[in-house]
Chain A
Amino acid sequence: MRAIRNIFRRKLRATLTIGGIAIGVLALVVMGAIAEKMTLLVNGGTEYFSDKVTVSESPAHSMAALPMSIDRVAEMEAVDGVNVASAGCTLLLDEDGGASFGMPAMLIGYDLRARDLESFEVTFADGRDLEPGDQGKAVIGSDLVKKLGVEKAGDTIEVRGRTFEVVGIMEATLTAPDTTVLVNLPDAQEIFYDGLPEFVQSMVTQDEVITDLTIYPDEGVDPDQLADRLEAQFDDIDAIGPEKFEEQIGSIADIFNYIVYGVAMVSLVVGGLSVINTMTMSVYERTREIGIRKALGASDWRIIRQFLTESAWIGLIGGIIGLALGSLMTAGGNNAIEQSGTAIFLLTPRLAIGSLAFAVVLGVLSGLYPAWHAARMNPVEALRYE
């Protein structure tokens, strides 16, 4: 390739420029991979919460700081529009929260009463779903296989000081269930109760403590309106419908997207300036060559195309290197984190292609001015240049 020969005429300069772009693309790929993971998580959550309401004790109102009681189930189900209120007990999988970034792994116990109403489909890579009465049994998410040292259904795991038999391994959903251990409600209640301070324990019983309710509305009832009605009726709960979920969680995803755009802008400016500088110097050094090319009959467009091709290649090579480093880093990062928690990077094809396209466009845009400058040169003056 002639363009590449020209680029590497000045090896150090070319390497530095390409390195600059590679770093920009690397940052873009790494940040983008976090954002992609985040987006999928949020999308999965949005899908899951699209037809239900989650109810928890409002921290602002629960003076006694007591956990939610299972009596709430009957209270909620008495409300018009509520079909089933399913009790859940949600705990951190690692007592200390684990040293993981991203989504912490969770241990969730639930009463399975609303299983037939659940629209979020989960399939099993191995084994089966949890059944009522599966005491001491668990279903685990795909991301936890490595962390918990599970090979197949039937293996046992140790969580929160208890031993469970794994009856099923869920297929990857790319969202929350991947990092979740599901058990029957009583098992989770036992762990939850044991972890409560003694004075709280003295005020509640093990089989009544829960952390949240998942409300499945009657057919035709809008979950957002139902959430509003629940909050109006009970001033000591927080009821989160699909809209509020999107508001809260969506904004977190938005922040990540803004960071990606921020990184993209910074690398656009830094990488772009570096390419402009390199191409301008290259045009200047090759003034006489441009004069000769023009004397040979090169049209302005030919000259523009020549320099744009060079700057596009600078972008592409930088992009490829950045992408290669980025995929190494995200793969390595995921690998390291998987031991303790969950993958936080997701390098999607659209991110990979987008980053490369970004680098090439960056190269072309930065080459525009120098190329135009070269094309506009007066051939006689260019030929006089030594």
Chain B
Amino acid sequence: MSIISVKEVYKRYQLGRENFVHALRGATMQVEKGEMLAIMGPSGSGKSTVMHLMGCLDRPDRGEVWLADRRVDTLPHGELTGIRGKEVGFIFQGFNLIPTLTAVENVALAAEYAGASRGKARERAEDVLKEVSLADRMGHKPGELSGGQQQRVAIARALINEPSVVLGDEPTGDLDTESSREIIGLMKSINERQGTTFVLVTHNPEIGDACHRTVLMLDGAVSEG
């Protein structure tokens, strides 16, 4: 069963008065439940854009986006916000965390946005941080953590609401090889243990290797996969 289905989506951005960038031109792809999928391709090929559509951060100009069994591209603004909070987790490249909040506060924030009380959110955040082996770094601010540790906090935050899908945009983009491998290993083990679906936009071939499947994008469409 597909957990995400993107059908013939188009997205363009207006640059000048008459100038458009066609970020997506009829991209179609499916993500299966429990799968770990890599989206690769050259810079500007529309990888991030398609991931944003999957995560309900944006709507396509044309085409359909389905999440689980629900068509989401036609949903109103407020509902998209709710889906982002509860059903999807995000990991971005670098500067992922809110600098004034500690690790545990950063993680708890996502639970608070999903409606948990501050106390409950904190409790759960502590549990998830333990799962990513950061029990001893809970009170640290992002600036006091290494790049790899920061990304682990981001993973914990993406997982706190137990979403069906975690979307990552260059999750290892700012990391050295060693930390990068550690993060890939962590995501893989979460995928194996909990069955969480991962969709990872990346230039890193090691992520491609770790994933079950790779989709290759070119000029706003899927060229292979």
Of A2, A295, A299, the most chain B CB neighbours within 10 A belong to: A295
Looking at chain A's contact residues, is the secondary structure mostly helix, strand, loop, or mixed? helix
Known: A2-B100, A9-B100, A383-B57. 6 other contacts (CB 8 A): A292-B98, A293-B109, A297-B84, A297-B161, A300-B77, A378-B58
Q: Verify if B96 is at the interface (C-beta below 8 Å from A).
A: yes
In the complex, what distance in Å separates the CA atom of A302 from the CA atom of B109?
Answer: 11
A386's nearest neighbour on chain B, judged by CB, is B95
Interface, chain B (partner A; CB < 8 A): 49, 52, 55, 57-58, 77-78, 81-82, 84-86, 90, 92, 95-101, 105, 109-110, 113-114, 157, 161
Contact between A379 and B58, CB atoms less than 8 A apart: yes
What string of 1s and 0s marks CB contacts (under 8 Å) between A1-40 and chain B? Answer: 0100110010000000000000000000000000000000
In the complex, what distance in Å separates the CA atom of A43 from the CA atom of B90?
Answer: 66
Contact between B95 and A298, CB atoms less than 8 A apart: no
Contact between A295 and B55, CB atoms less than 8 A apart: yes
Contact between A5 and B58, CB atoms less than 8 A apart: no
CB-defined A-B contacts under 8 Å, sample of 8:
A288-B95, A289-B98, A296-B90, A297-B85, A298-B113, A299-B81, A379-B52, A379-B58
- In A354-386, the 8 Å CB interface with B consists of 378-380, 383, 386
Q: Verify if A294 is at the interface (C-beta below 8 Å from B).
A: yes
B100: A residues at CB distance < 8 A: 2, 5-6, 9
Contact between A297 and B95, CB atoms less than 8 A apart: no
Q: Which of B57, B82, B98, B101 contacts A294 (CB 8 A)?
A: B57
A378: B residues at CB distance < 8 A: 58
B99: A residues at CB distance < 8 A: 9, 289
- In A281-326, the 8 Å CB interface with B consists of 288-289, 292-300, 302
Q: Which of B77, B98, B105, B113 contacts A297 (CB 8 A)?
A: B113
In the complex, what distance in Å separates the CA atom of A369 from the CA atom of B15?
Answer: 26
Of A9, A297, A300, the most chain B CB neighbours within 10 A belong to: A297
A285 to chain B, nearest CB (A): 11
In the complex, what distance in Å separates the CA atom of A9 from the CA atom of B98?
Answer: 12
B115's nearest neighbour on chain A, judged by CB, is A297
Nearest 3 CB-CB pairings of A with B:
A297-B85, A297-B113, A297-B84
| A296-B157 CB under 8 A given contacts A2-B101, A380-B52, A383-B92 | yes
B87's nearest neighbour on chain A, judged by CB, is A297
Interface, chain A (partner B; CB < 8 A): 2, 5-6, 9, 288-289, 292-300, 302, 378-380, 383, 386
Contact between A297 and B114, CB atoms less than 8 A apart: yes
Contact between A295 and B95, CB atoms less than 8 A apart: no
A6: B residues at CB distance < 8 A: 100
In the complex, what distance in Å separates the CA atom of A294 from the CA atom of B57?
Answer: 8
B150 to chain A, nearest CB (A): 13
B105's nearest neighbour on chain A, judged by CB, is A2
| A297-B82 CB under 8 A given contacts A2-B100, A302-B113 | yes
Q: Which of B58, B77, B81, B161 contacts A298 (CB 8 A)?
A: B81
Q: Which of A9, A292, A379 contacts B96 (CB 8 A)?
A: A292
A386: B residues at CB distance < 8 A: 95
Q: Which of A5, A296, A379 contacts B110 (CB 8 A)?
A: A296
Contact between A297 and B86, CB atoms less than 8 A apart: yes
A379: B residues at CB distance < 8 A: 52, 57-58
A4's nearest neighbour on chain B, judged by CB, is B100
In the complex, what distance in Å separates the CA atom of A343 from the CA atom of B90?
Answer: 64
A297's nearest neighbour on chain B, judged by CB, is B85
B76 to chain A, nearest CB (A): 12
Contact between A299 and B114, CB atoms less than 8 A apart: no
B115 to chain A, nearest CB (A): 9
A5: B residues at CB distance < 8 A: 100
In the complex, what distance in Å separates the CA atom of A317 from the CA atom of B57?
Answer: 36
B58: A residues at CB distance < 8 A: 378-380
In the complex, what distance in Å separates the CA atom of A2 from the CA atom of B52?
Answer: 29
Contact between B98 and A295, CB atoms less than 8 A apart: no
B78's nearest neighbour on chain A, judged by CB, is A299
Contact between A295 and B90, CB atoms less than 8 A apart: yes
In the complex, what distance in Å separates the CA atom of A71 from the CA atom of B148?
Answer: 102
B163's nearest neighbour on chain A, judged by CB, is A297
A143 to chain B, nearest CB (A): 52
A7's nearest neighbour on chain B, judged by CB, is B100
In the complex, what distance in Å separates the CA atom of A302 from the CA atom of B78?
Answer: 12
A288: B residues at CB distance < 8 A: 95
A294 to chain B, nearest CB (A): 7
B58's nearest neighbour on chain A, judged by CB, is A380
In the complex, what distance in Å separates the CA atom of A295 from the CA atom of B82?
Answer: 10
B98 to chain A, nearest CB (A): 5
Contact between B81 and A380, CB atoms less than 8 A apart: no
